Amino acid sequence: MKRTILLTCFLLALVSVKAQNDQLSNSQPEQNKTPIMGWSSWNHFWIDIDEKMIREQVDVMVRSGMKDAGYQFINIDDGYFGGRDASGRLLAHPRKFSSGMRALSDYIHSKGLKAGIYSDAGISTCASLWNADTIGNDVGLYGHDEQDLALMLKDWNYDFIKVDWCGAEKLQLDEEIRYTQLINTAKKINPYVIFNICRWQFPGKWAPVIADSWRISGDIRPTFESILNIIDLNADLWQYCSPGHFNDMDMLQVGRGMTYEEDKAHFSMWCMMNSHLLAGNDLRNMTSETVEILTNKEIIALNQDPLCYQARRLIDHGDQEVWAKPLVYTGSGEVAVALLNRSAEECEISFPLDSVSIDAAKRYTYRNLWNKKNYPVETASALSFKVPAHGVIVLKIQGSSIPFNVFQKALKDSKE
């Protein structure tokens, strides 16, 4: 009888523990293992932001189909600050954000989205130094780490934080030490927060160990030259990309003045290279072409592939390049290929199948992810396409992988 009672108590305890664990897992958000997707205020609005405009961006993200395509984050960048009170507590701008930052994150969350916020590792933010945002003076994290991060990530309930370096650069702080302090503090307050280092260059090998993402370039501009420059800066950083840790190529410029082909090339390469997909345009004034690009689910799927293998430049003929990445796993025989034409003239770009680790003799199929065209079974050893000026063609190839292929070899070499 005594043994039966003990066994019953033991089983009840197990059930109780399982129930507690289930409740805990249901209450905690899932950690992002693929690049985040969303929208950020900085590119288009700079510091000219307010809660009404932010709410309107939220509403458009939902009704435009962007949310259905995977966009989740609404990130409020520099310009929301209102100084500090007598106790040093951070304030939101009393006029532009009169309802408060918690009310705004609540609204974002009510739409099934996530909220992002901004700060600086030093005393002053970039806008207070460079954009005459005088009310933003003395609002950086320096001297207020725990106080500000608890306010932003707990009281205000934001899910993402971008931490800039303007004020910290002015103080001549050590990057690794300062960002390590901030990340440790932020993760202690909210283990699930996504922390972005905004240092305007690859910070160093220490960053991928502790951060969720890190900027690898200066601020992006809405020109094709800027796009190409950032692609080149990220080309050799592929080995630092892994699930949950990404080279951030900055916010998207789709819909901000480049041509249709340039926008497609820009978006394709950000997806191929596993950058965050943060729209930087005014969502309220999008053309149908902009919506088409931003919501191409087959291109987005390359960015969100769970392998998170950053595309590599495998063929370089100057202005004509072939980029590729394996999908699912490195030997799956499923490969995404981007043919990038950097020149101002239409050009033909060719590549042998073995250069992207496909065994052509074993037959393969492929699909053009922009014109949505499937091609029949092939055994040709090479493929060739006419690529528009400043344009791209993106293919998804399915076949048999070459043993110890170029992707696997590169991973092995990078670890040696």
Q: Assess whether 232 carries a catalytic annotation.
A: no
Out of 106, 219, 319, 359, which one is annotated catalytic? 219
Q: How many CB atoms lie within 10 A of CB 45?
A: 17
Out of 78, 148, 164, 250, which one is annotated catalytic? 164
Q: Which residues of 211-231 are buried (b: 16+ CB within 10 A; e: fewer)?
A: bbbbbbbeebbbebebbbebb
Q: Phi/psi at 26 (nearest 5 deg)?
A: -75, -25
Cα separation, 120 vs 142, whole angstroms: 8
Surface-to-core class of residue 170, CB atoms within 10 Å of its CB (0-12 exposed, 13-18 middle, 19+ buried): middle
Place of tokens 């999908």: 327
Sheet hosting strand 373-378, strand order edge to edge: 312-316, 320-326, 334-341, 392-398, 364-368, 373-378
Cα separation, 233 vs 247, whole angstroms: 10
Q: How many CB atoms lie within 10 A of CB 379?
A: 11
Determine contact, residues 336/294, Cβ cutoff 8 Å. Answer: no
Q: Assess whether 319 carries a catalytic annotation.
A: no
Q: How many CB atoms lie within 10 A of CB 372?
A: 9
> Residue 376: left (phi > 0), alpha (psi -120 to 50), or beta?
beta
Cα separation, 292 vs 289, whole angstroms: 5
Give the catalytic positions in this structure: 164, 219
